[in-house]
């Protein structure tokens, strides 16, 4: 992941694990499930007057923290506008496979003054292409990119109105959640998973019919670039986010093998977020990958990503630990992954361990090897054993 982020000129940012509750209330939105019922919040007992009673929260997501840091440290002055993070997030959800109360996200944000191009559809396409590259490089196949544009605040006001109207005559036939949403936040109706409600939801007006000209153009350009870099996507007009500072592009990557919790990652544009948090105008777009789900999607092909040791070094006999340590140090400098045994282990046991941990080679370091400078290098897959001079070891292993 770090390699991919580097290729796109992203830099790592680490924000605190907890921040003031108000940041999340404003940055994520009071009316979201996250803020309304899922946050771990407590009152600080600090002795300083300024700390006392301050409400603090374990971060439920990381975009608010990144944008807070962007504003507080004027990161735009330092040209830092492409940032990525990796770390734990906390939400009080009902745990199940792929859904945990402490989970891990890997995410990135592109944020900056519009003059720096942060509003450009090229950024949206770049982010989506980066994600396709990430998943492909991890060997994750069968992902689907679902894409939508939710326009700007004006479009959504008109859309909300239309939704409310359309829901009025049918809401009574829907689930209780939808009956409430139809009044308070009609966009959230699209989150409904109740099968009986789906035919009604299918017939509701779509946001795409309400996009103004600049938003429509922006979306067209995102799609045009994606086609030109051959990143496949599906338009999904049900993919919406309810908050005012979410704008235009919204997306999700899903994976068939994950079951009910099938979203590996989600993201979108938030052109109004910086201002909502008291900062300057700074259009932005970002995503958060659920690392736990990514690992679940990976597990079938995990062999490919978990690097096994290249060599197990078996020190043979008294005094050989220190010699083995020297050989290990030399080889590790060549980026060879080494696991070390102990001089008290019998050779048979060492070879068994070496096979068990999946090492490619076992290297025997005994008196003999040291005095002659020639080592026995055993290929554990084929059983073939070769005598290799010390100076050739790294090359022999790497070839």
Interface residue list for ligand AMP (CB under 6 A)? 61, 91, 93, 98-100, 103, 105, 263-266, 288, 290, 292-293
Per-residue DSSP letter, 308: P
Q: Dihedral (C-alpha) 281, 252, 296, 9: value to the nearest 10 degrees?
A: -40
- Locate 215 and state its tokens: 């938003």
Nearest residue to ligand AMP, scored by beta-carbon proximity: 290
- Report, in Å, the least distance between residue 99 CB and ligand AMP: 4
How are strands ordered across the β-sheet holding 55-58? 18-20, 55-58, 41-43
- Report, in Å, the least distance between residue 294 CB and ligand AMP: 8
Q: Which is nearer to ligand AMP, 246 or 361 (CB)?
A: 246
Among 158, 156, 197, which residue's Cα sits nearest to residue 176? 197
Q: Which is nearer to ligand AMP, 91 or 123 (CB)?
A: 91
User: What is the β-pairing status of strands 18-20 and 55-58?
Assistant: antiparallel
- Locate 383 and state its tokens: 């059983």
Distance of CA 54 to the CA centre of its chain: 30
Q: Which is nearer to ligand AMP, 294 or 351 (CB)?
A: 294
Q: Which is nearer to ligand AMP, 33 or 330 (CB)?
A: 33
- Report, in Å, the least distance between residue 24 CB and ligand AMP: 12
Which residue bears the tokens 């554990």?
380
Q: Specify whether the CB–CB gap between 269 and 122 falls below 8 A.
A: no
Per-residue DSSP letter, 60: S
Q: Which is nearer to ligand AMP, 34 or 178 (CB)?
A: 34
- Report, in Å, the least distance between residue 69 CB and ligand AMP: 18
- Report, in Å, the least distance between residue 47 CB and ligand AMP: 34
Which residue bears the tokens 């990525």?
84
- Report, in Å, the least distance between residue 87 CB and ligand AMP: 12
Q: Which is nearer to ligand AMP, 40 or 345 (CB)?
A: 40
């Amino acid at each position: 992941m770090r390699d991919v982020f580097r290729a796109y000129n992203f830099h790592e940012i680490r924000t605190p694990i907890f921040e003031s509750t108000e940041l999340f209330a404003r940055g994520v939105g009071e009316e979201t499930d996250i803020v309304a019922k899922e946050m771990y919040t407590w009152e600080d007992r600090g002795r300083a007057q300024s700390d006392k009673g301050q409400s603090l929260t374990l971060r439920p997501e990381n975009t608010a923290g990144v944008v807070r840091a962007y504003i507080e440290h004027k990161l735009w002055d330092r040209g830092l506008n492409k940032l990525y993070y990796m770390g734990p997030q906390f939400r009080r959800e009902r745990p199940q496979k792929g859904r945990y109360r402490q989970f891990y996200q890997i995410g990135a944000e592109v944020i900056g003054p519009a003059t720096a191009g942060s509003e450009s559809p090229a950024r949206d396409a770049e982010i989506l292409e980066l994600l396709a590259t990430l998943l492909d490089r991890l060997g994750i196949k069968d992902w689907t990119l679902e894409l939508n544009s939710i326009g700007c605040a004006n479009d959504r006001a008109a859309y909300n109105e239309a939704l409310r109207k359309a829901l009025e005559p049918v809401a009574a036939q829907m689930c209780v959640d939808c009956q409430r949403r139809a009044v308070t936040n009609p966009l959230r109706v699209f989150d409904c998973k109740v099968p009986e409600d789906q035919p009604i939801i299918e017939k509701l007006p779509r946001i795409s019919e309400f996009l103004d000209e600049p938003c429509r153009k922006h979306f067209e350009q995102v799609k045009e670039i994606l086609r030109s870099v051959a990143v496949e996507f599906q338009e999904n007009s049900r993919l919406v986010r309810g908050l005012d500072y979410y704008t235009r592009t919204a997306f999700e990557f899903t994976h068939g093998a994950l079951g009910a919790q099938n979203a590996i990652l989600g993201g979108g544009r938030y052109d109004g977020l910086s201002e909502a948090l008291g900062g300057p105008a700074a259009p932005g777009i970002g995503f958060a990958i659920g690392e736990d789900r990514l690992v679940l999607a990976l597990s079938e092909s995990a062999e490919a990503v978990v690097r096994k040791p290249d060599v197990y070094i078996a020190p043979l006999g008294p005094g050989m630990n220190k010699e083995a340590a020297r050989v290990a140090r030399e080889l590790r400098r060549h980026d060879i992954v080494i696991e070390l045994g102990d001089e008290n282990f019998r050779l048979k046991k060492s070879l068994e361990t070496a096979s068990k941990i999946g090492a490619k080679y076992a290297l025997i370091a005994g008196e003999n090897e040291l005095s002659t400078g020639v080592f026995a290098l055993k290929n554990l897959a084929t059983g073939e054993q070769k005598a290799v001079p010390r100076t050739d070891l790294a090359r022999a292993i790497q070839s």
